[in-house]
Amino acid sequence: MNNNSDAIVVGAGLAGLVAAAELADAGKTVTLVDQEGENSLGGQAHWSLGGLFLVDSPEQRRMRIKDSAELALQDWLGSAGFDRAEDHWPRKTAEAFIEFAAGEMRAWLHGQGMRWFPVVGWAERGGSTATGHGNSVPRFHITWGTGPGVVAPFERRVRDHMDKGRITLKTRHRVSRVLTTDGRVTGVAGEVLAPSTVARGERSSRDVTGDFELRAGAVLVTSGGIGGNHDLVREYWPRDRLGEPPASMVSGVPHHVDGRMIAITREAGAAVINSDRMWHYTEGLKNWNPIWPNHGIRIIPGPSSMWFDANGRRLPAPCLPGYDTLATLKEILRSGHDYSWFVLDQSIIEKEFALSGSEQNPDMTSGQWKEVLKSRLGKGAPPPVEAFKRHGEDFVVADDLKTLVDGMNRLTGEHRIDYQRLHAELAARDRQMDNPYAKDAQITAIHGARHYLGDKLFRAAKPHKMLDPAHGPLIAVRLHILTRKTLGGLHTNVDGQVLGTDGQPVPGLYAAGEVAGFGGGGYHGYNALEGTFLGGCIFSGRNAGRHAATVV
């Protein structure tokens, strides 16, 4: 069948919703296609914690955080490490995003009804030099309602345009070809999949019931990354920087985050850059109550858990909880194994453990203060954390260290953890607690974190000796590598126009969100600063939608 509209948006995740809404706001007709069902609108963003990277916000100023566009750009460039000729547009996109995040971003989102938790989080702290990787200050603004709260205003705009006939939503439509005519992109074609009744995030069928072909003046690809496709993750793995990919990983994204559209769009003339840049977390848990296949959940840790590799060797700074993800990933894989351990106690888990994801934070997802206070300041860890502690296969809980070590070795069946060595590490660490200063980098980091009021209230436990039974029981958590974000992808300029191998825009072709490395073909460079994934989807989707509206 043939359908005509001004623009086609391929992928109904956050970037796709933003792009479609902007196109329709400009009076254009849009066909929005997605291989999943209508209940999957918002894509991976729905499952997120809803953190946004904002600069010099009212929330920061109320927490006495001094931030600026200049400091944010310094942090970004120190993290990105742009070093290739093809990083021209990624860098330009990063500079434009910083200007957006320090300028109109908050007011624009606030005007659409978005609100944020008043305590700003301090994610990806770096821990090396002022010009190196990491956030110098807290910038992680958690949206009230978490991921669904981020998606809501854009889904609302899209559905309003659907009611008015400007946007047509075609779910269970899997694009397999980008169509071109005389060098210009003019549509897409693919397969109609069988209707699906599975819940959001669950694996849906790929049974084909027919074909389709759609024509339009522009095609915007917003189909997401490769995190659900471990074969692609391993194919693109940066072996020169990180070594061999893990033999085993858990998935931080649903199975439909499959990366298909990257190769499909390349066949239409698009350039793909920075495929070796990716962002996978080191604090993954096997979900005891999974939604999608091999479902992993990330621990968002405070600064106090001690981190050991599979052999029981303590990881060196800056491989501290919450400081430098890629450095820690490299250090873990250097051990020759694909898992590591947190060792902590009950006092630490109650204050410092949070789990990433909207479904793991029902209090913040509810947007109700009373639920947050009851969950975060009540007795024990937040209920989802306590549930993992009780039911999760990666948790070992014991009243003494010898029993804990026995449980760790029993869990893996490898007997790599030596009691005497682990006891010596914990005892040495505890001796650093006798003074409000220390030479141990992690203890210094804990004291530093507690100078920030937000961490002192919500994220950093009061320094104490871990072998003190008063803070027990002791807890060990086996951590897996968790796939998540694709940092490279379709090469675009700041306006979202997809570039060909000659560096010139492919007429009629746009891309936004994770499929474009969140903008430019990889605006993070080698490292990410957190809150920049959802923010990148919003920014690049807005740019692509607005520019496409001027040419169709």
Q: How far apart are the first and last CA of the chain?
A: 22
Q: What kind and span of H or E run contains 179?
A: strand 173-181
Asked whether the predicted pLDDT for residue 245 surpasses 60, the reply is yes
Tens-place pLDDT, residues 437-467: 999 999 999 999 999 999 998 899 999 999 9
Helix runs in 164-289, H state only = 230-236, 239-242, 260-267
Q: Dihedral of the CA atoms 82, 85, 86, 91 (nearest 10)?
A: 40
Are the C-beta atoms of residues 305 and 342 closer than 8 Å to each other? yes
Write down the residue that tokens 């329709």 correspond to.
Answer: 24
Which of the four pLDDT bands, split at 50, 70 and 90, describes residue 206?
A: very high
Q: Tokens 């003494």 sit at which residue?
A: 400
Segment among 255-269, 362-376, 384-398 with least mean pLDDT:
362-376
Question: What is the rounded distance in angstroms from the CA atom of residue 99 to the CA atom of residue 120?
Answer: 19
What span, in angstroms and rounded, lies between the C-alpha atoms of 182 and 425? Answer: 67
Query: Which stretches does DSSP call E strand in 385-524?
Result: 395-398, 474-486, 489-490, 497-499, 505-511
Neighbours of 357 (CB within 10 A): 23
Q: What pLDDT does residue 379 have?
A: 73
Q: What is the pLDDT of residues 468-526, one digit of tens each?
A: 999 999 999 999 999 999 999 999 999 999 999 999 999 999 999 999 999 999 999 99
Type of residue found at 161: H
The average confidence (pLDDT) of the chain is 96
Q: Which residue has the higher pLDDT, 280 or 369?
A: 280
Q: Kindly indicate the confidence band of residue 81, based on its pLDDT and cuts at 50, 70 and 90.
A: very high
What per-residue confidence (pLDDT) applies to 363? 86
Question: Is the pLDDT at 69 greater than 70, yes or no?
Answer: yes
Dump pLDDT digits (tens) for 41-61.
999 999 999 999 999 999 999
For residue 473, whether the previous peptide bond is cis, meaning omega lies within 30 degrees of 0, is: yes
What confidence tier does 368 reach under pLDDT thresholds 50, 70, 90?
confident
- Contact call for residues 536 and 528 (beta carbons, < 8 A): no
Amino acid at 364: M
Per residue in 154-170, pLDDT (tens digit) is: 999 999 999 999 999 99
Residue 376 has pLDDT above 80, yes or no: no
pLDDT tens readout for residues 293-327: 999 999 999 999 999 999 999 999 999 999 999 99
What pLDDT, on the 0 to 100 scale, is given for residue 342? 98
The predicted pLDDT at position 1 comes to: 46
- Check: CB of residue 511 under 8 Å from CB of residue 543: no
For range 11-34, the mean pLDDT? 98
Check whether 2 has a pLDDT greater than 70.
Answer: no
DSSP state of 336: T
Q: Which residues of 486-519 are buried (b: 16+ CB within 10 A; e: fewer)?
A: bbbbbbbbbbbbbbbeeeebbbbbbbbbbbbbbb
| 1-10, 173-182, 399-408, 536-545: least confidently modelled range | 1-10
Please tell me the distance from the alpha carbon of residue 45 to that of residue 150, in angstroms, as a whole number. 8
Can you give the pLDDT at residue 127?
79
Neighbours of 467 (CB within 10 A): 16
Would the pTM count as exceeding 0.95? yes
CA angle 292, 298, 300 (to 5 degrees): 155
CA atoms 518, 520, 521, 523: torsion sign:
negative
* Mean pLDDT score, 172-187: 97
Whether pLDDT at 216 is above 70: yes
